[in-house]
Structure 1
Amino acid sequence: MKHRRKHAVLLWMLICSGLAEAIEPISTSIAVGMAAALTGFLASYPNILYYFHECCRPEWISFNKTDLNVDLQRKLFGQHIASRIILKAVNGFMNNDNPKKPLVLSLHGWTGTGKNFVSKMIAESLYKEGMNSNFVHVFTSELHFPHAHQIDTYKSQLQQWIKGNVTNCPQSMFIFDEMDKMHPGLIDSIKPYLDYYDKLDGVSYRKAIFIFLSNAGGESIIQTALDFWKAGRGREEIELSDLETALSLSVFNNKKSGLWHTSLIDKNLVDFFVPFLPLEYKHVVQCALAEMEARDLEPDTSIADQVARDLIYFPKSERVFSVTGCKTIVSKLDYYV
């Protein structure tokens, strides 16, 4: 296979480099011979062009559980519940050859706790091109759906966009950021694509993944974390059962949430509500050290401590949880390195 790929690359370079012009004049018979050789080569290796252009094929879309697990363990700090749910949910879905519905994840928590980061990890474990893949689609409320009076237009556009992309590739991923700022009716408009249908208008959506990111429900998650801390219990003792009911209720009843009274919840179409806990000082330090490593810098704990100390924490007197999580680490680090 390596030899085939090498030959294909060389042939591709020859064709695209203009070398044919460099060896002019060339007889018609030779040109015809080269064309015949190329045709024969492509007939022998019909899938070779898939190596040069992203396609909805295993060469470009293939789940790597190990990579996702390593990223969650080494790069996502302070989120033992989210890590466990994400790995099991994605692995179970991707190993099911005949899922009954798309995978729908709703990630909730305060800013800077890792929701966008986890979405990126999932994309990188599935798609060779990661977040740059043509099959990963990100929608941001204030950018793509800014005007409430155009909600009907947005609904139609969103439905057509999802249908078109899933038709192109059943294993498409759709990420909805800032769900707490999204019109509830907009999310309800895509409900049919998330439900238990074999096909809708000839299109199956059962292999797609939908990820919703929201700050909604963050208050209930923070309150639970505070209660555990005040009781002298470690955050690792917090279980999903301690958060799940309060989280789903707070999201469903929060008028500022894109999921407010939406049928996605009362029809049980969200597979997992994933809580992201507020980050502590030690987690901010870990984020700063990880960012240094990502920049090929020597990790320096003293600098990481300086960055962490600059952030605002709550409760104010005890300074337990970071208000912005790790969100401002990148810009803060620029000041110290």
Structure 2
Amino acid sequence: MSDQDSSTSASQTEGEFEGETEGEGERDEKQSDGLAPSLSNFSSSLRAVIRIKQKYQALKKRRQELTLGLGGAGTYTGAPARTSPKIFTFDGLTPSTFPAMSSSIPQRKKKRRKKRVLFPNGGGRRAPPKQEHSRAKYCLYLLFAIVFLQVYNAIENLDDHVLRYDLEGLEKTLRREVFGQQGAVEGLLSHLKDYLSTYVHNKPLVVSLHGPSGVGKSHLGRLLAGHFRSVVGETLVLQYYVLHHCPQEADALQCAHDLSTLISEMVERAEEEEKIPLFIFDEAEHMHNEILDALWQLVASKQSNEYLNAIYLFLSNLGHEHITKHMLHNSSSISMAMTASGRHSNLVKELTPILHNTLEKLHPLWTEADILPLGLLEKGHVMDCFLDEMTREGFYPDHANIERLAGEIEYYPAVGGHEYSQTGCKQVVAKVNLL
């Protein structure tokens, strides 16, 4: 009977709970209806918040009353007495605890709002701006192409200008026919290559070759004159021998005037033909001051372009005492394994300041010139001169005969294994003619 009574009381309790719930729901609806007119001026979001809060407070109140009613009237037999009422919270509640309530409350799915790109003008959604390629980029590419073609064309023109003078052929000729002066030949060719690589210059090329008698200065000048006559023409090459063209000092002023007129005509003709003339002055140590003054005005003064595109070559034995003294005193320190260019570079480095100081005291023309000293010739070089001259004259090149002829030449005392000739190859032609 007790079980039946407990079940009956439980059913009654449930009925009362449902009745109370319905009653309270009607009261809540009436209250919310009553409040609705008063809250009509608020926004919809504010009204929704107030409604949710009211429902939450009503539900909390009903749970508290239900808990107190069950604890006071409907206690089960053998159940422990409650000492204090339990306060309702949402901490321990799960959807499975109140299935009817969880099913009655609809759950809204949260929608992910897409981010909108807003722009200042208009506020609407616009497509992102497309990256447009600037047309100036193509102009820049075209400019690069034009500059490249111009540089390439300029390089090709430089090569064509150098090839016109056939400096490779000149180098082969000088190395084959000039003995004992390979370092000086390399220095002279270096000056010519640098100058002839372009047609526009800010000053003429002035080179002065100095050395003792018989070392090959005049021979080198004849080889250069012959080569340039073959490439630029006979009219653009001048070989000026002072003792031949102006032997009398009284005629020096007239000779200077005539020389200036001749050089002016040649440079004007060379300008018309777009070529560079060559002026060779042999035995420059015998040149009069009037002639040196005239040449200095042509070389040093800033005249028109045709006077700047010219090559002046001076051949003299000025300063030969310094060259001879230097080679005799320093031959013991020169290594036998050193090349000819290495020996000449040392010779130029040590003698150029001395020669400049000596020549500048004679005339200011030498301040505008590049100095190239020619060294003394050894016995082996003299034998090469005899061999070349005998071959030209048609003699059989007997080595014993050549050594005998070379022994008749006067030499300085041997120093450091070097035996230098006092007259170089100057007596070679005369001795071969006696054969």
TM-score (normalizing by structure 2):
0.55
Over aligned residues, Cα RMSD in angstroms? 2.8
Find the aligned partners of 2:250 and 2:393 in 1 and give their Cα distance: 44
Q: 1:326 — aligned with what?
A: 425
Counterparts of residues 88-167 of structure 1 (less than 5 Å):
88-128=190-230, 133-167=234-268
What stretches of structure 1 of length at least 5 have no aligned partner?
Answer: 1-57, 254-259
Deviation at 1:296, TM superposition (A): 5.1
- The alignment of Structure 1 onto Structure 2 pairs a total of residues equal to 264
Determine whether 1:179 maps to 2:284. Answer: yes
Determine whether 1:287 maps to 2:385. Answer: yes
Deviation at 1:316, TM superposition (A): 8.7
| 8 Å contact kept, 2:356–2:371 | yes
Q: Which has the higher helix share?
A: 2
Instruction: Please say which of residues 164-173 and 107-116 is displaced more in the overlay.
Output: 164-173
Q: Which runs of 4+ in 1 moved over 6 A?
A: 316-319
Deviation at 1:95, TM superposition (A): 1.3
Deviation at 1:334, TM superposition (A): 2.5
Partner SS for 1:225: helix
Q: Deviations over 1:242-270 (max 9, x none)?
A: 221112222333xxxxxx1x2223xx421
Find the aligned partners of 1:285 and 1:277 in 2 and give their Cα distance: 17
Deviation at 1:120, TM superposition (A): 2.4
Q: 1:241 — aligned with what?
A: 349
Q: 1:68 — aligned with what?
A: 170
Find the aligned partners of 1:278 and 1:135 in 2 and give their Cα distance: 32
Counterparts of residues 172-211 of structure 1 (less than 5 Å):
172-195=277-300, 197=302, 199=304, 204-211=306-313
Q: 2:314 — aligned with what?
A: 212
Find the aligned partners of 2:401 and 2:324 in 1 and give their Cα distance: 28
Find the aligned partners of 2:414 and 2:190 in 1 and give their Cα distance: 36
Supply the AA of the counterpart residue of 1:289. L
Supply the AA of the counterpart residue of 2:431. K
Supply the AA of the counterpart residue of 1:183. H
Partner SS for 1:176: strand
Q: 2:87 — aligned with what?
A: none
Percent of aligned pairs with the same amino acid:
26
Q: 2:86 — aligned with what?
A: none
| 8 Å contact kept, 1:64–1:126 | no
Classify 1:252/1:303 alpha carbon distance in 2 versus 1 (closer, same or farther; 3 Å): farther
Classify 1:196/1:157 alpha carbon distance in 2 versus 1 (closer, same or farther; 3 Å): closer
Supply the AA of the counterpart residue of 2:259. L
Find the aligned partners of 1:333 and 1:88 in 2 and give their Cα distance: 34
Deviation at 1:215, TM superposition (A): 0.8
Q: 2:36 — aligned with what?
A: none
Q: Deviations over 1:12-53 (max 9, x none)?
A: xxxxxxxxxxxxxxxxxxxxxxxxxxxxxxxxxxxxxxxxxx
| 8 Å contact kept, 1:101–1:196 | no
Determine whether 1:308 maps to 2:409. Answer: no
Deviation at 1:129, TM superposition (A): 7.1
Find the aligned partners of 2:404 and 2:287 in 1 and give their Cα distance: 37
Q: Which has the higher contact order (CA 8 A, sep 6+)?
A: 1
Q: Deviations over 1:202-223 (max 9, x none)?
A: x612222111110111111111
Find the aligned partners of 1:233 and 1:250 in 2 and give their Cα distance: 28
Tell me which structure has the larger Cα radius of gyration: 2
Supply the AA of the counterpart residue of 2:215. T
Q: 1:252 — aligned with what?
A: 360
Partner SS for 2:382: helix
Q: Deviations over 1:47-76 (max 9, x none)?
A: xxxxxxxxxxx9xx9311211211222221
| 8 Å contact kept, 1:225–1:277 | yes
Classify 1:89/1:135 alpha carbon distance in 2 versus 1 (closer, same or farther; 3 Å): same
Instruction: Please say which of residues 189-198 and 227-236 is displaced more in the overlay.
Output: 227-236
